[in-house]
Chain A
Amino acid sequence: MPTDLSQAADARTFRPSPHAKRGGLRAGQGRFGVMLLLPALIAFSLIVLSPFVQALGLSLYKYTISTPEPIFVGLANFKKLLADPTVRGSFVTTAVYVFFTTFFSITLGLAWAIILNEPFKGRNALRGISLLPWIMPATVSAFIFGWIFNSRYGVLNAVAMEFGFIEHPQAWLSTTSGAMTAIVMVKVWLSIPLFMSFFLAGLASMDREQIEAARVDGAGNYNVLKDHILPHLRPVILVVVVLGMIGNLQQFDSIYALTGGGPVRATSVLSVEVYRRAFEQWDIGMAATIGVLWVATILPPAYFYLRQLMKGAE
């Protein structure tokens, strides 16, 4: 062991610590960072990346219940799909669904956040209860709404008849608009807590004196909202719109549990369509093709979201 320091100094050579690795501190930190990321990377590769790559591959094959082995067909699936009116219908249904769910979750989430931002007794308890839909599994929520809309013993029928809006019980979920309204309502109900939390966080950083100054300047509730709260929440709204769109494009469980994509194809959004093609019609190739198109529609909002996040991180 080199215990004589003066001798070592004379020789002008210092033996590096046996624990030191090549590349110095920075590279060591880099390696440590990769090690920390590794579990997540492995999980991501197994659960997300590899199925996605497989699906990407399958979209180029004809692979149905009548083909024992997948047959490579190139882009034929895509060609067929783009000419298929049912798939185009699915895109339209998805667009309608995403628009209404995103719009209502954001407006209602914002309204609820503004209410819960006001100081009143029992506010914290109400805030806690408001998170309930978020905690509940989506299928459970879907079944609750299923009961509400039920044609024979549903609460909606009972209430509507009690107030004299309808004379006979209605089969709400068996009409096109009724079924769409129902799945939108479930999703909005599920999304409000999350969006409300985003908005509450945004409102918490709002300068109270700014609102007071606006009041002194003569701003009523409408002007306070339009001229002060909304501009302040702009970055939050941007993120929430994008997150909402991504989430709503992906929504499956609550829709499938409530309507199964019906009546006929009225609520058959892309996620349901993929599921139906794959596990009801056993047309794996086509399902994969729709899946690829579906991912393509999610990519632009996802890109915006990530860019916004990066901006925030800078």
Chain B
Amino acid sequence: MTELVIQNLYKRYGEVEVLKDINLTVKTGEFTVFVGPSGCGKSTLLRMICGLDEVSSGEIAIDGELMNAVPPSKRGIAMVFQSYALYPHMSVAQNMGYALRLAGESKELIAERVTRASEILKIDDYLDRKPRQLSGGQRQRVAIGRAIVREPKIFLFDEPLSNLDAALRVDMRMEFARLKDRLGTTMIYVTHDQVEAMTLADKIVVMRDGRIEQVGSPLDLYHHPENRFVAGFIGSPKMNFLPVTGGDGARLRLPGGSVAAPRIGKPFEIGVRPEHMEITDGAENTLTGNVLTSEHLGSDTFAYVQIEGVERPAMVRLDGERQITHGEDVSIGFADSAVHYFGSDGLTISQAQVPAAA
């Protein structure tokens, strides 16, 4: 079974540590997404798995076999590059069959696999064209086709959708999901777009500054972020954060109101997702603020509510038909269960032991 195990992995460029103590296991058939802001080291990690960047220290093993010194072509992986990196002077068919040709496979086998892959990706009409005669989406498919033809144990995707326009990106995202079901191969996918991560992944690896912040399923990360960074990074629109200004044993004082205190820990900050907030007086917790502006998307209305003492206005997701008067004082309400508590170190104060609010 194809299992990728990374242990104590470091990448250094001179004095600079780009990756710090990475430990990760990717199981067979898993769709794993590395996500994080630019410069977090996610692409470097992918390139090291691929074998394009050398390991400074630590181990990368596929199927129990140490890969540190194995050249990329011998690792049983295929990579789809951000720029697609198609060979401009070769036709689509030649692009896709290149790896097999180098491996000395027979013409029949190459033709058969290229045909099969091109049918899966619906590019069988373009096999004789050169890359420059294709649209962005078609090029993307050829790049994926080139990977499929090799029948790798692991697919690596480096921000494959970032060069496509928004509409095409949504389409291709769906294609990736379909491909994942159809091929069932292990896939590792790098993106800075948390929506891509949430929609595609079985397992998300959130990275920041060369470290893994949290690993888990999309819903796991959404509901139980381990720290403030993951809480803010996962979920769209972003979670609202409010500083804790004081309080007693039962209630925590916040700017504009208060919230139920957790059973354990001394929170420094709390977070509530916009979709868990309402504009209402009748809720377990309420905050007062002034409506700064609102955005009507049809399906949703986003209200930006300025709470005194908080720099960033809180965002509240409301029904699409809801009308909001700008400049009006309102009460934001939310349930106890919607509150995430964070300590001064940025870590989540887990309330797992605490019974869910009644």
Q: Interface residues, chain A, CB within 8 Å of chain B?
A: 207, 209-210, 212-219, 223, 227-228, 231-232
Q: Is the CB of B72 within 8 A of A228?
A: no
Task: Please provide the 8 A-B residue pairs with the shortest distance between their CB atoms, ordered closest to farther.
Answer: A218-B73, A217-B99, A209-B85, A213-B85, A231-B89, A218-B102, A216-B72, A209-B81
State A155–B267 Cα separation when bound (angstroms): 82
Query: When A218-B102, A218-B103 are in contact, do A209 and B73 touch as well, CB less than 8 Å?
Result: no
Q: Does B33 contact A (CB under 8 A)?
A: no
Q: Does B265 contact A (CB under 8 A)?
A: no
Q: Is the CB of A212 within 8 A of B85?
A: yes
Besides the known contacts A216-B73, A216-B79, 14 further A-B residue pairs in the complex with CB atoms under 8 A apart:
A209-B81, A209-B82, A209-B85, A212-B81, A214-B98, A215-B73, A216-B50, A216-B72, A216-B99, A217-B150, A227-B90, A227-B98, A231-B88, A232-B88
Q: Does B52 contact A (CB under 8 A)?
A: yes
In B212-246, the 8 Å CB interface with A consists of: none
Q: Does B320 contact A (CB under 8 A)?
A: no
- Contact residues in B for A213 (Cβ distance below 8 Å): 79, 81, 85-87, 146
Q: Is the CB of B102 within 8 A of A216?
A: no
Query: Closest residue to B82 on the A side, CB-wise?
Result: A209
Count contacts on B: residues with CB < 8 A to the other chain: 24
- Contact residues in B for A219 (Cβ distance below 8 Å): 73, 98, 102
Q: Is the CB of A212 within 8 A of B52?
A: yes
Q: Interface residues, chain B, CB within 8 Å of chain A?
A: 50-52, 71-73, 77-79, 81-83, 85-90, 98-99, 102-103, 146, 150
Query: When A212-B81, A215-B71, A216-B77 are in contact, do A223 and B102 touch as well, CB less than 8 Å?
Result: yes
Q: Is the CB of A210 within 8 A of B87?
A: yes
- Contact residues in A for B83 (Cβ distance below 8 Å): 207, 209
- What is the distance, in angstroms, from A91's C-beta to the closest C-beta of chain B? 37
Q: Is the CB of A215 within 8 A of B103?
A: no
Could you give 16 example pairs across A and B, Cβ below 8 Å? A209-B81, A210-B85, A212-B79, A212-B81, A213-B79, A213-B81, A213-B85, A215-B73, A216-B52, A217-B73, A217-B99, A218-B99, A219-B102, A223-B102, A227-B87, A228-B87
Q: Is the CB of A214 within 8 A of B87?
A: yes
- Contact residues in A for B50 (Cβ distance below 8 Å): 216
Q: Is the CB of A217 within 8 A of B102?
A: yes
The SS class assigned to the B binding surface is: loop
- Contact residues in A for B98 (Cβ distance below 8 Å): 214, 217, 219, 227
Query: Closest residue to A234 on the B side, CB-wise?
Result: B89
- Contact residues in A for B146 (Cβ distance below 8 Å): 213, 217
- What is the distance, in angstroms, from A262's C-beta to the closest C-beta of chain B? 47
User: For B50, B102, B146, which residue has the most chain A Cβ atoms within 10 angstroms?
Assistant: B102
State A214–B71 Cα separation when bound (angstroms): 12
- What is the distance, in angstroms, from A220's C-beta to the closest C-beta of chain B? 8
State A219–B86 Cα separation when bound (angstroms): 14
State A232–B90 Cα separation when bound (angstroms): 11
- Contact residues in A for B90 (Cβ distance below 8 Å): 227
State A286–B3 Cα separation when bound (angstroms): 82
- Contact residues in B for A214 (Cβ distance below 8 Å): 87, 98
User: For A210, A213, A228, A232, which residue has the most chain B Cβ atoms within 10 angstroms?
Assistant: A213
- Contact residues in A for B72 (Cβ distance below 8 Å): 215-216
- Contact residues in B for A223 (Cβ distance below 8 Å): 102
Pick the contact of A207: B71, B85, B103 (CB < 8 A).
Answer: B85
State A217–B81 Cα separation when bound (angstroms): 12
State A209–B79 Cα separation when bound (angstroms): 11
State A228–B98 Cα separation when bound (angstroms): 12
State A231–B88 Cα separation when bound (angstroms): 9
State A215–B79 Cα separation when bound (angstroms): 11
